[in-house]
Amino acid sequence: MADTRSDKKHASNPFQTLARAVIMMGTLVVGALAWCVYGPPPEQLAPLLNKANQLVNQALRGDASGPAGAPHSDTLAAWDDPEAALKMLPTDAWPSAPELAAAPALAGDPALGAPIRQLEELGAHEVAVDAWGQSGLYRCRCVVPVAGSVDFLRNFDAVESTADLAAQRVAADIRAWQAGR
């Protein structure tokens, strides 16, 4: 014996169809009434509708001239003479980039070798010590795996007056975190 419930589920109910149609028509009527009460008067819409009509007509005709008074540029003319195309860019009018101050080289500093080795012994990866800002501060940052996992990492960083102090503070933070686990 076949189950007729699945057939009834997809069968159209005339009352449901009528109710949906009434709701849709009511929404359209309420929207039109709201437009009449709260919308702009037709006189204000006339320029907008005329402009939209003009753009649609231009698009349908294939008229690529654009709006009246718009400048027309011919990109193919620049390819006829490549040297002329290069002369079109006034590079001397562009401001030059400001000179960047070179950061002090900390990677080769022998005084940092011991603190960085100490961080690596604590399990730190991606250890970096950089100059931080314009006031002579240094930032040491690294990541340490959580519970021996390589997927979950904890970030550590410290900013101090010297690179050595920043590395020592990060090492102390790692030790405190590992002791608290």
pLDDT in tens, 114-147: 888 888 888 888 899 888 888 889 999 999 988 7
pLDDT of residue 102: 46
Is the pLDDT at 99 greater than 80? The verdict is no
19-40 pLDDT, tens digit per residue, is 999 999 999 999 989 988 888 8
CA distance 37 to 30: 11
Residue 115's CB is within 10 A of a number of other CB atoms, namely: 21
Cβ contacts of 2-9, under 8 Å, gap ≥ 24: none
The confidence band for 108, taking pLDDT boundaries of 50, 70 and 90, is: low
Alpha-carbon separation of residue 63 from 52, 55, 57, 70, 76 (angstroms): 15, 10, 8, 13, 19
pLDDT of residue 28: 95
Rounded CA-CA distance 35/39 in Å is 4
Sheet holding 125-132, edge to edge: 125-132, 137-145, 153-160
When pLDDT is averaged across residues 84-107 and rounded to a whole number, the result is: 55
User: Which domains can be identified in the chain, with CATH numbers?
Assistant: 13-63 (no CATH), 110-180 (3.30.160.340)
**Gap between the Cα atoms of 166 and 174, Å rounded:** 12
Task: Assess whether pLDDT exceeds 70 at residue 71.
Answer: no
